[in-house]
Amino acid sequence: MEPTTLTRPDLKERWHAYRRAHPTTRIRNAAADLGVSEADLLAADEGDGVTRLDGGWGALLQELDALGEVMALTRNDACVHEKTGVYRNVKLFESHRMGLVLDEQIDLRLFLERWRFGFAVETPWEGGQGGLRRSLQFFDAHGTAVHKVFLTRRSDVAAYDRLVAKYRYTGSEPLPPVEPRPVPEPETPDAAVDRAALLQDWAELRDTHDFFPMLKAHGVSRPQALRLAEGTFTERVEPASARQALEHAAATETPIMVFVGNPGCIQIHTGPVRRLKATPPWFNVLDPGFQLHLNEEGIASAWVVRKPTRDGTVTALELFDAGGDVIAQFFGKRKPGLPEREDWRAIVTALPRQ
């Protein structure tokens, strides 16, 4: 997103006019229509239901348990992942600017070096339910949302008010302009990659967490590695495979893991999926405590990916958009020290190959 050249009053006027004309449009889509970032729109409303927050994101995250039950939302352009629970067991690794939330319900991997802006936002509840929907929303340097925390009807509003008062921005400087998104670096030509060495290192993996360092060591992108490993560790499947995998998991009561993220946050669901509903182009999981909204039109490619580990092979279904970014990843429910579930393997085996 390019920095906006509009003054804040001008942008606020345009934003409110847009909202009157399109009352049901999500702010992310409104920002795209207006040619600005979502963070720009919130900054335009500062003082009008929006409070700017003043960094210290790690410390703030460690205090979120005081809110009680909340809904955590992490998304990218093609998928929205929502989990209801409590922010417990928050662990920070300051030297790496990373963090974890390790609760049975809210399970996050946080890349805090990407978190630049934060706001407390109050909007009317949807559907005429009355009252205000309160949230904490965090954005990267480009003004794109990385993570949001929404209060539920059971959250502690007084604790929220105290948290906002503690972390509100008290300076007088306007929000720094968002940075333009850099042009992605071109991939190394396939012919310049030592494919045999890549596959050898892949075969010697002992932990799924070693996969990204392996890609980095060989100077390849994730989609490129999957192409180069096709027929050995990877297989192309139809983009509709995600729907089929979710339907089979629901029908067989197979517990799964669903990873959805962006450069600032990865959010994980572990457990069953039950209530599925198609509202094209979206395919949805609508379970108590977990909702997933997958835009099937955004899926450019889908792959079955196998990684050796000390516990045996781990199999994933990975979805990518047209730019090569990961939309979502699906696994069978597993824990270190245990082999992969056979019912998940059966689901993956049945997926339609390309």
Tell me the per-residue pLDDT of 196-232, one tens digit each, with 9 for 90 and over.
999 999 999 999 999 999 999 999 999 999 999 999 9
Q: pLDDT band at 139, cuts 50/70/90?
A: very high
Residues 129 and 254 in one domain: no
Residue 283 belongs to a domain: no
Residues 235 and 241: their CA atoms lie apart, in Å, by 12
Q: pLDDT band at 96, cuts 50/70/90?
A: confident
Beta partners for 305? 234, 316
Q: Please check whether residue 94 is in contact with residue 58, taking contact to mean a CB–CB distance below 8 angstroms.
A: yes
Residues 75 and 146: their CA atoms lie apart, in Å, by 7
Residues 354 and 334: their CA atoms lie apart, in Å, by 27
Percent of the chain exceeding pLDDT 90 equals: 91
Residues 151 and 261 in one domain: no
Residues 324 and 228 in one domain: yes
Query: Count of domains in the chain?
Result: 2
Residues 160 and 194 in one domain: no
Task: Check which CATH number belongs to the domain holding 132 and give it.
Answer: 3.40.1570.10
What is this structure's pTM? 0.95
Residues 200 and 161 in one domain: no
Q: Which domain holds residue 49?
A: 8-86+116-167
pLDDT the model gives residue 128: 61
Residues 138 and 75: their CA atoms lie apart, in Å, by 12
Residues 61 and 136 in one domain: yes
Tell me the per-residue pLDDT of 28-50, one tens digit each, with 9 for 90 and over.
999 999 999 999 999 999 999 99
Beta partners for 330? 258, 317
Q: pLDDT band at 6, cuts 50/70/90?
A: confident
pLDDT the model gives residue 95: 80
Residues 313 and 212 in one domain: yes
Q: How many CB atoms lie within 10 A of CB 344?
A: 26
pLDDT the model gives residue 9: 85
pLDDT the model gives residue 332: 98
Strands (E), 20-69: 50-52
Residues 272 and 154 in one domain: no
Q: What is the mean pLDDT of residues 280-307?
A: 98
Residues 258 and 318 in one domain: yes
